[in-house]
Structure 1
Amino acid sequence: MPDRQPLILSALAHDIHAAAVCWGLRKHGLSPRWIDSWADPAMPPLSMCCDAESGLRATGGAADAGVGSVWFRRPRNPESFPRALEADLPFLRNEWARFANNVHALASGLTDALWVNRPSAAIDAENKMVQLCAARRAGLRFPATLMSSDPAEIRRFAGAHRRVVYKPFQTHSWQDAASGKMFSTYARIVDAEMLRDDASLRQCPGIYQAVVHKRYDVRVTIIGECSFAVRLDSPPQGDFIDWRIASLASTMQARPAELPAGYDGRLQRLMRELGIVFGCVDLAVDASGEAHFLEVNQAGQFLFLEQAVPSMPMLRAMCALLAQGRTDYSPEAMTAVGFADYLASDEHRQWWERVGGGIKGKDGSVPGVSVE
Structure 2
Amino acid sequence: MADRHPLILSGLAHDIHAAAVIWGLQQQGLSPLWIRSWADSTMPPMSMYCDPQSGVRARYASIGAGIGSVWFRRPRNPETFPHAHEADLPFLRNEWGRFINNIHALDAELTDALWVNRPAAAANAENKLVQLHAARRAGLPFPATLMSSDPVEIRRFVGTHRRVVYKPFQTHTWQDASSGKMFSTYARIVDADMLHDDASLRQCPGIYQQVVDKHHDVRVTIIGDHLFPIRLDTPLQGDFVDWRIGSLADTMRARPTELPSGFPDMLHRLMRELGIVFGCVDLAIDGDGHPHFLEVNQAGQFLFLEQAAPAMPILRAMCALLAQGRSDYSIDALSDVSYADYLASDEHGAWWESVRDGIKGTDGAIPGVSVE
| 1:368 CA drift (Å) | 12
User: Are 1:352 and 2:352 counterparts?
Assistant: yes
| 1:303 CA drift (Å) | 0.4
Task: Please give the alpha-carbon distance, in whole angstroms, between the structure 1 residues aligned to 2:368 and 2:101.
Answer: 33
User: Are 1:218 and 2:188 counterparts?
Assistant: no
User: Are 1:291 and 2:269 counterparts?
Assistant: no
- Residues 5 and 143 from structure 1, CA distance in 2 versus in 1: closer, same or farther, beyond 3 angstroms? same
State the partner residue of 2:327: 327
User: Are 1:113 and 2:113 counterparts?
Assistant: yes
| 1:238 CA drift (Å) | 0.7
Task: Please give the alpha-carbon distance, in whole angstroms, between the structure 2 residues aligned to 1:129 and 1:13.
Answer: 32
Task: Please give the alpha-carbon distance, in whole angstroms, between the structure 2 residues aligned to 1:178 and 1:203.
Answer: 23
Task: Please give the alpha-carbon distance, in whole angstroms, between the structure 2 residues aligned to 1:77 and 1:8.
Answer: 14
Residue ranges of structure 1 left out of the alignment (5+ in a row)? none
| 1:159 CA drift (Å) | 1.1
**Is 111-120 or 190-199 further displaced after alignment?**
190-199
Task: Please give the alpha-carbon distance, in whole angstroms, between the structure 2 residues aligned to 1:168 and 1:186.
Answer: 7
| 1:365 CA drift (Å) | 3.4
- Residues 78 and 367 from structure 1, CA distance in 2 versus in 1: closer, same or farther, beyond 3 angstroms? closer
Answer yes or no: is the 8 Å Cα contact 1:245–1:370 preserved in 2.
Answer: no
Answer yes or no: is the 8 Å Cα contact 1:230–1:254 preserved in 2.
Answer: yes
State the partner residue of 1:135: 135
State the partner residue of 2:278: 278
Answer yes or no: is the 8 Å Cα contact 1:69–1:115 preserved in 2.
Answer: yes
Task: Please give the alpha-carbon distance, in whole angstroms, between the structure 1 residues aligned to 2:317 and 2:368.
Answer: 29
Task: Please give the alpha-carbon distance, in whole angstroms, between the structure 2 residues aligned to 1:371 and 1:355.
Answer: 18
Alignment-mate amino acid for residue 334 of structure 2: M
- Structure 1 residues 167-316: aligned runs within 5 Å: 167-177=167-177, 179-316=179-316
**Is 352-361 or 100-109 further displaced after alignment?**
352-361
Answer yes or no: is the 8 Å Cα contact 2:285–2:291 preserved in 1.
Answer: yes
Answer yes or no: is the 8 Å Cα contact 2:285–2:292 preserved in 1.
Answer: yes
SS in 2 for 1:122: helix
Answer yes or no: is the 8 Å Cα contact 1:56–1:109 preserved in 2.
Answer: yes
| 1:132 CA drift (Å) | 0.4
Task: Please give the alpha-carbon distance, in whole angstroms, between the structure 1 residues aligned to 2:234 and 2:273.
Answer: 31
Answer yes or no: is the 8 Å Cα contact 2:15–2:369 preserved in 1.
Answer: no
State the partner residue of 1:146: 146
| 1:93 CA drift (Å) | 2.0
Answer yes or no: is the 8 Å Cα contact 2:14–2:366 preserved in 1.
Answer: no
- Structure 1 residues 41-52: aligned runs within 5 Å: 41-52=41-52
State the partner residue of 2:68: 68
- Residues 53 and 368 from structure 1, CA distance in 2 versus in 1: closer, same or farther, beyond 3 angstroms? closer
Task: Please give the alpha-carbon distance, in whole angstroms, between the structure 2 residues aligned to 1:323 and 1:268.
Answer: 21
| 1:180 CA drift (Å) | 4.4
Alignment-mate amino acid for residue 133 of structure 1: H
- Residues 72 and 367 from structure 1, CA distance in 2 versus in 1: closer, same or farther, beyond 3 angstroms? closer
| CA-to-aligned-CA distance 1:94-115 (integer Å, 9 cap, x gap) | 2222222221111111100111
- Residues 107 and 64 from structure 1, CA distance in 2 versus in 1: closer, same or farther, beyond 3 angstroms? farther
- Residues 298 and 75 from structure 1, CA distance in 2 versus in 1: closer, same or farther, beyond 3 angstroms? same
Task: Please give the alpha-carbon distance, in whole angstroms, between the structure 2 residues aligned to 1:339 and 1:360.
Answer: 24
**Is 190-199 or 70-79 further displaced after alignment?**
190-199
TM-score, length-scaled by structure 2: 0.95
State the partner residue of 1:155: 155
- Residues 192 and 180 from structure 1, CA distance in 2 versus in 1: closer, same or farther, beyond 3 angstroms? closer
- Residues 126 and 161 from structure 1, CA distance in 2 versus in 1: closer, same or farther, beyond 3 angstroms? same
Task: Please give the alpha-carbon distance, in whole angstroms, between the structure 1 residues aligned to 2:370 and 2:72.
Answer: 22
Task: Please give the alpha-carbon distance, in whole angstroms, between the structure 1 residues aligned to 2:199 and 2:145.
Answer: 22
Answer yes or no: is the 8 Å Cα contact 2:8–2:35 preserved in 1.
Answer: yes
| 1:46 CA drift (Å) | 2.3
Answer yes or no: is the 8 Å Cα contact 1:144–1:209 preserved in 2.
Answer: yes
> Aligned Cα RMSD in Å?
2.0
Alignment-mate amino acid for residue 299 of structure 1: A
**Is 338-347 or 73-82 further displaced after alignment?**
73-82
Answer yes or no: is the 8 Å Cα contact 2:147–2:206 preserved in 1.
Answer: yes
Task: Please give the alpha-carbon distance, in whole angstroms, between the structure 2 residues aligned to 1:181 and 1:320.
Answer: 42
Identity of aligned residues (%): 75
| 1:338 CA drift (Å) | 0.3
Task: Please give the alpha-carbon distance, in whole angstroms, between the structure 1 residues aligned to 2:240 and 2:284.
Answer: 14
State the partner residue of 1:26: 26
SS in 2 for 1:356: helix
Task: Please give the alpha-carbon distance, in whole angstroms, between the structure 2 residues aligned to 1:87 and 1:201.
Answer: 41
Alignment-mate amino acid for residue 8 of structure 1: I
Task: Please give the alpha-carbon distance, in whole angstroms, between the structure 2 residues aligned to 1:367 and 1:111.
Answer: 33
Residue ranges of structure 2 left out of the alignment (5+ in a row)? none
SS in 1 for 2:71: strand
Task: Please give the alpha-carbon distance, in whole angstroms, between the structure 2 residues aligned to 1:159 and 1:24.
Answer: 51
**Is 150-159 or 343-352 further displaced after alignment?**
150-159
| 1:369 CA drift (Å) | 8.0
| 1:192 CA drift (Å) | 2.6
Alignment-mate amino acid for residue 143 of structure 2: P
TM-score, length-scaled by structure 1: 0.95
Alignment-mate amino acid for residue 338 of structure 1: S
